[in-house]
Amino acid sequence: MKGQVKLISAMLIFGSIGLFVKNIHLSSSEIALLRGVIGSIFLLAFSLLIKQKPSLSAVKANIILLLFSGAALGFNWIFLFEAYRYTTISNATISYYFAPVIVLVLAPFILKEKLTPVKIISLFLAMAGLILVVNNGGNGLDGSYNHTVGVLYGLLAAILYAGVILMNKFIKHLSGFETTLIQLMMASLVLAPYVYIKEGLAFSGLNSQSLVLILIVGIIHTGFAYFLYFGAIKELKGQTIAVFSYIDPISAVIFSFLFLGESMGILQIIGGILVLGSSFLSENEKKLSFKIRT
């Protein structure tokens, strides 16, 4: 039960990140950079506390994969946060949850996994669901959304996160916690010069409200949530983790409705069910979960 409580808590935290990001008056790249820096500092402090430091030799052996996966993680955040700006949280989350479907398509070529009939059906269900989501929009408070652009940003984020999932398959001799810690550091390292060139590292929109919210995103939604998540997966079976991971997108939709007044039409809801259902179907076939982390 303790592991389940940790996992549910982590999923609810991940599911609420859109509420906070939407109210931070910084660019998406600035938010992503600060999230990476604050989150990596938190996890580094925690790793020192529990005396679980990554092996230097293991880091060196995987440095190229860690660099590229960290960069993909950082830019995936940027695209996801842009998706929040252009469409509803529910639309952004559903399109982002297309990442396992992208892994499903690429796995036969990269991981040499067999593309089974169940996975082919899952792929078509996901595509149909995404079409329904894109074509049926959603209602925001100000009606200023551009849902097509927002969903496209969500898909770009999903592509990058699928890349992280696949690259992680080739990282050896590092635990999930250690890999995440290094990837957060690499994301910060890559994003810093990008933000400097693009924004000048001015953080001009960082008022008191945005400062509090970015600290919450960095500490709670990144450092603490990953702490709970990796603590939970040590105690739970893979199938339990797979099922509970869907609390993340479902809670994101509920939170956006309760706190932001965002709604989904019937066809949109059907589309969301198809996308998430297709992901669950393909995962359940082999009892293997590809978790989405925002």
Tell whether the torsion through CA atoms of 80, 84, 85 and 91 is positive or negative: positive
Task: Report DSSP letters for 168-206, one per residue.
Answer: HTT--S--HHHHHHHHHHHHHHHHHHHHHHHHTT--TT-
* 8 A C-beta contact, residue 212 and residue 95: no
Going by pLDDT thresholds of 50, 70 and 90, the confidence category of residue 220 is very high
Tell me how far apart the alpha carbons of residues 268 and 253 are, in angstroms, rounded to a whole number: 11
Contacts of 17 (CB under 8 A, 6+ apart): 217, 221, 252, 294
Going by pLDDT thresholds of 50, 70 and 90, the confidence category of residue 140 is very low
Q: What is the pTM of this model?
A: 0.89
C-alpha angle 159-193-293 in degrees, rounded to nearest 5? 30
**How confident is the model over 100-110, as pLDDT tens digits?**
888 888 888 89
Tokens of 21: 């990001």
Position 276 scores a pLDDT of 86
Residue 263 sits at φ, ψ, to 5 deg, of -130, 165
**How confident is the model over 150-161, as pLDDT tens digits?**
999 999 999 999
